[in-house]
């Protein structure tokens, strides 16, 4: 599976490696309108949205994410503890 973040990073990687852009650019991505990704203060902001609720692999997420931090960072309570 590819995400929006991976697709954009693959396209822009070389531009940021060579520093060939004429000025500093801040690119931000978020998956909701609540501005968790600082899209309101970026030069280029990409906003995605979920058409269906995301499927969470609980075994994987507990190893790659601080669960209490992820839960408290969502202002609408879309992330909750299941265990």
Do 46 and 4 contact (CB within 8 A), yes or no?
yes
Confidence at 37, pLDDT banded by 50, 70, 90: low
Read off the pTM. Answer: 0.48
pLDDT tens digits, one per residue of 61-82: 767 766 677 677 776 777 777 6
Task: Provide mean pLDDT across the span 58-62.
Answer: 73
Q: Domain boundaries in the chain?
A: 1-49, 53-83
Please state, in angstroms and rounded to a whole number, the distance separating the CA atoms of residues 26 and 31: 17
CA 24/CA 43 separation, integer angstroms? 9
* 3: pLDDT strictly greater than 80: no
Residue 20 has a pLDDT of: 78
């Amino acid at each position: 599976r590819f995400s929006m973040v991976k697709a954009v990073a693959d396209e822009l990687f070389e531009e940021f490696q060579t520093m060939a852009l004429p000025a500093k650019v801040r690119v931000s991505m978020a998956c909701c309108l609540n501005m968790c990704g600082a899209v309101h203060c970026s030069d280029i902001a990409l906003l995605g949205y979920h058409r269906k609720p995301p499927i969470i692999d609980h075994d994987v997420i507990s190893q790659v994410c601080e669960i209490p931090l992820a839960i408290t960072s969502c202002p609408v309570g879309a992330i909750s503890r299941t265990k």
